[in-house]
């Protein structure tokens, strides 16, 4: 750890709360935090409730974590809400999940505006039911001028398809004579991924997955090349301030080398 880092990230004490830690500058703050919100179904099952009860409760966690991320000074919070593979779930569950963004934005957009949060999405929202798509578009429009945290929903998102789409776009440009094969590089691919609008913040610094599963499940495979990974057994509906603090504390201790050696 450099002297600079030591001054600004003094060792946290065991009993430190998130607020105290933030005020003391105890954490290294990821610019882009991405979360694979998992375990809603198991949370519900444990309580003998239908799976959708877990999704409803998980929505409250998104609200809570958005506030925490904003307070921590995180710039982009990407949350994996629905994967391209999730369409294969029972139709009742899929239709409930499709209604969630409508409820979420109905109740939460005024607060997002108050918190200066801007809503964005990655993934193919054109394939969502019309009311869902409209709720998402409205939320984006209503928060478009906000300059704080970007709350980025991965909705009908599939990382491998995103790479296929970028490859097709580039192939078309080459076929049309607008691009040389040699002009296909990391930058031109990154720009054509759905995270392209995030520019230098497209790659998550930290990816958190809840519920004990330790895989990416087609989430940001290109962008995760150098992401730090953090796994916790907590089910997403139970993920609270203490768990958020633990993730930040773990990230603070990571030594990101990017293939280099320590100075």
Burial of 59 from C-beta contacts in 10 A (0-12 / 13-18 / 19+): buried
Nearer to ligand IPE among residue 215 and residue 256 (C-beta): 215
Beta carbon of residue 37, minimum distance to Mg ion (angstroms, whole number): 9
Strand partners, 155: 82
Binding site partner of 120, from ligand IPE, Mg ion, none, Cβ cut-off 5-8 A by kind: none
The single residue of 38, 70, 203, 205 carrying the catalytic annotation is 38
38 included as an active-site residue: yes
Count of residues near Mg ion by CB under 5 A: 1
Tokens 């997955």 correspond to what residue?
209
Beta carbon of residue 42, minimum distance to ligand IPE (angstroms, whole number): 3
Alpha-carbon distance values, 12 to 15, 155, 228, 246 (Å): 8, 36, 20, 11
Count of residues near ligand IPE by CB under 6 A: 17
Tell me the residue nearest to ligand IPE as measured from the CB: 41
| Contact with Mg ion (CB under 5 A) among 36, 38, 78, 143 | 38
Alpha-carbon distance values, 8 to 22, 24, 28 (Å): 11, 8, 9
The set of residues, in sequence order, having a beta carbon less than 8 Å from that of 102 and lying 6+ positions away, is 131, 132, 135
37 scored as a contact of ligand IPE (CB under 6 A):
yes
Beta carbon of residue 43, minimum distance to Mg ion (angstroms, whole number): 10
86 included as an active-site residue: yes
Beta carbon of residue 235, minimum distance to ligand IPE (angstroms, whole number): 7
Part in contact with ligand IPE (CB under 6 A); list of ranges 19-27, 67-75, 79-87, 183-191: 79-87
Give catalytic residues, as residue numbers.
Answer: 38, 86
């Amino acid at each position: 750890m450099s002297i600079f880092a030591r001054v600004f990230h003094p060792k946290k004490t065991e009993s430190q709360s998130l607020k105290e830690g933030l005020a003391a500058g105890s954490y290294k703050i990821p610019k882009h935090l991405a979360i694979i919100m998992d375990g809603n179904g198991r949370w519900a099952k444990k309580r003998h409730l239908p799976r959708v009860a877990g999704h409803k409760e998980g929505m409250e966690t998104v609200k809570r974590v958005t506030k925490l991320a904003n307070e921590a000074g995180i710039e982009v919070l990407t949350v994996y809400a629905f994967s391209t593979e999730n369409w294969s779930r029972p139709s009742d569950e899929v239709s409930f999940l499709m209604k969630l963004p409508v409820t979420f934005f109905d109740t939460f957009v005024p607060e997002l505006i108050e918190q200066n949060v801007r809503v964005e999405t990655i993934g193919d929202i054109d394939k969502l039911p019309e009311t869902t798509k409209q709720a998402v578009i409205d939320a984006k429009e209503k928060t478009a001028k906000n300059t704080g945290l970007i709350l980025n929903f991965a909705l009908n998102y599939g990382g491998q398809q995103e790479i296929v789409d970028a490859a097709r776009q580039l192939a078309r440009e080459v076929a049309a004579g607008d691009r040389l094969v040699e002009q296909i590089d990391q930058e031109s691919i990154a720009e054509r991924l759905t995270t392209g609008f995030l520019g230098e913040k497209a790659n998550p610094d930290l990816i958190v997955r809840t519920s004990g599963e330790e895989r990416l499940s087609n989430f940001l495979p290109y962008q995760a090349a150098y992401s730090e990974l953090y796994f916790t057994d907590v089910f997403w509906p139970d993920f609270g301030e203490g768990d958020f603090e633990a993730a930040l504390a773990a990230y603070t201790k990571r030594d990101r080398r990017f293939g280099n050696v320590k100075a």
